[in-house]
Amino acid sequence: MIKLFRIDHRLLHGQVAFSWTKSIGADCILVADDEATTNSLKMTTLRLAKPQGVKLVVKSIDDSIKALQSGVTDKYKLFIVTGSVADAKRICDAVPEIKSINLGGIKNREGARQVSQAIFLLPEEEDELHELAANGVELEIRQVPTEKKELYK
């Protein structure tokens, strides 16, 4: 069961990993990120950020989609993290059971518009998010679970 699907360019990191994992009762974290599967430094960093007693799985976007569609992840209380709006959209388009996305952190880049303290969106990302919202996906902005939920519009 998917407990939380989060977009965060930092993927899994420190207090956010611990606070979200504990808050939602996750027993498995799926990091869906093409680069992390081939970058040993990124993989090591992810392993260090993982809370003790929680399973960590790092898969490419395509392999993440296959795992979610196959039902192999159904036995877990799953926390999914991906690094970009485009990757989140690919996953949501393929896995229609996902009805909510937590926007946690999207770094500032040239041409991006700041929509919250830690969310900077390019025009094409805003289009992708609006398309997800039109398809019934709730988009919420929250860094940590103790913050008030704010809906992205």
Q: Where in the sequence numbering do the catalytic residues fall?
A: 13
How many residues are given for the chain? 153
Q: How far apart are CA 11 and CA 31, in angstroms?
A: 7
- Any bridge partners for residue 91, and if so which? none
Residue with tokens 């809370």: 51
Contact (CB, 8 A) for 90 and 41: no
- Any bridge partners for residue 138, and if so which? 100
